[in-house]
Structure 1
């Protein structure tokens, strides 16, 4: 059962009521992290070549089982047996696009939750068109930075600088909620404050540390962690909030033990491995 508090509601410009003001629950993060460690969900990661190793290590650190199967001959077969699927658009190729389409279709048929991470959408036309196609295919969660989410939602002039956002997460909140309502998904916008919406409710995550932006792959690893949480939690909104809380609290712990980006990357894995209920409660409040 979710421990999300009952938030207030405010109207959006579209006229729909949008619940706002609730913070993601430490108790949900504790419960879901425990379920991952108990069940060890198999997460099929179709991700980019820059971050594959780090992503796998993040999943291993929380107790999930990663698999990086992304060729077009095997992707559908593996998606059918995985507990969750990550589709990260970071480094696309024609074969990978074919493989992703096949994996998404197989996941849908199997009722397996899959996560879309629209890396650099808006900045490049090919991936922007592909992401627009995928977002209508039933992702449980769409996770990206503010520029990526705004571009995917159809906002003009929102493209980031490559993989970097040029706007803030709060600026993308209303469009994220509209996108969530339109395609029936949960949208997670990463930033100094993370905002997550299913189109009606909004959760906020205020933990985290600037060092998380100085290591390649932290955001992409979050997409994989969202997938792991969706494998053990029926509410994509609660799952995404828990994943974001788990990673950002670990980021705070790791930053306190690090001298710079290099040691931070290692410390983040250690912090995830050692993350416990008292630490989550202390950092979330």
Structure 2
């Protein structure tokens, strides 16, 4: 199981290596996502133009593909970037936002999922839809629970040889064999634009900086650090508006000791301590 010490070490690696994270993402969340990456110690690059995206993916430390606003140009750039990432061995993350009922993004996510992402992150309805076991949620909101998606997440991770993370009140992260739960986080993350989308970029940074750590450990670490920062931000804010700013401040100020002390991660078969 990933420990608090290991999670803190991965955060330190992100800060020491400043991974370059290419984001092909939802146009609604680009600023927030970039600020989250900067606060964590990573370097964001919103390179989503065809004829540049594929080239840049070969130079980046990691790539995020988010299907939140999949314009024709972004879809072409995503295909290019994923191909470039595959050629260069660049780890990339698929965030299949709002797939299921909407045909364009659903087809794109299914196509890209077969191109060996290092991780897939979504809510329960999105993961069910990507696994072919559900019709999606209500827009970007999940209409299914983590328990509903647990089996589909394991099957998807095993079939794609990837790590699948299902976001919720308690996050589930699996490589198809092992299942870990992350109990850190706060409800206010669901009440600001980009709370989940920025997590996809955050995961990408940890995968880019992971060195010898397993992908499963990197994805768990990203969820844990992000969740701890959210808890600390929520404790000192007045509501969703101030929370968004406080989250960025909290990510920048978070120490390794705070991560070690605050991490709540357990095996799926264990009781939460």
Interval containing the TM-score (normalised by the shorter chain): over 0.9
Gap runs ≥5 in structure 2: 265-273
User: Is 1:217 aligned to residue 194 of structure 2?
Assistant: yes
- Runs of 4+ more than 6 Å apart: none
Q: Deviations over 1:217-274 (max 9, x none)?
A: 0100000010000001142111110000010000000000100011100000010001
Q: Deviations over 1:94-146 (max 9, x none)?
A: 11111100000000000000000000011311111111111100000000000
User: Is 1:53 aligned to residue 11 of structure 2?
Assistant: no
User: Is 1:97 aligned to residue 59 of structure 2?
Assistant: no
Structure 2 residue aligned with 1:144, among 88, 98, 122?
122
Structure 1 residue aligned with 2:143, among 160, 166, 170?
166
- The equivalent of 1:235 in structure 2 is 214
Q: Deviations over 1:33-91 (max 9, x none)?
A: 10011010000011011000000000000100000000102001110100000000100
Whether the 8 Å CA contact 2:12–2:256 is kept in 1: the answer is no
* Whole-angstrom CA distance in 1 between matches of 2:3 and 2:107: 35
User: Is 1:109 aligned to residue 87 of structure 2?
Assistant: yes
Whether the 8 Å CA contact 2:7–2:260 is kept in 1: the answer is no
| Secondary structure of 1:187 counterpart | strand
TM value normalised by structure 2: 0.94
Tell which deviates more after alignment, 57-66 or 225-234.
225-234
TM value normalised by structure 1: 0.90
Whether the 8 Å CA contact 2:11–2:256 is kept in 1: the answer is no
- The equivalent of 1:261 in structure 2 is 240
User: Is 1:275 aligned to residue 264 of structure 2?
Assistant: no
User: Is 1:193 aligned to residue 170 of structure 2?
Assistant: yes
RMSD, matched Cα: 1.0
Deviation at 1:280, TM superposition (A): 1.5
- The equivalent of 1:179 in structure 2 is 156
Structure 1 residue aligned with 2:11, among 26, 29, 33?
33
* Whole-angstrom CA distance in 2 between matches of 1:49 and 1:256: 29
* Whole-angstrom CA distance in 2 between matches of 1:249 and 1:138: 29
* Whole-angstrom CA distance in 2 between matches of 1:33 and 1:236: 14
* Whole-angstrom CA distance in 2 between matches of 1:88 and 1:25: 29
Whether the 8 Å CA contact 1:170–1:195 is kept in 2: the answer is no
* Whole-angstrom CA distance in 1 between matches of 2:3 and 2:72: 40
* Whole-angstrom CA distance in 2 between matches of 1:160 and 1:89: 14
Gap runs ≥5 in structure 1: 5-23
Structure 2 residue aligned with 1:250, among 208, 212, 229?
229
* Whole-angstrom CA distance in 2 between matches of 1:193 and 1:95: 35
Whether the 8 Å CA contact 1:230–1:236 is kept in 2: the answer is yes
- The equivalent of 2:182 in structure 1 is 205
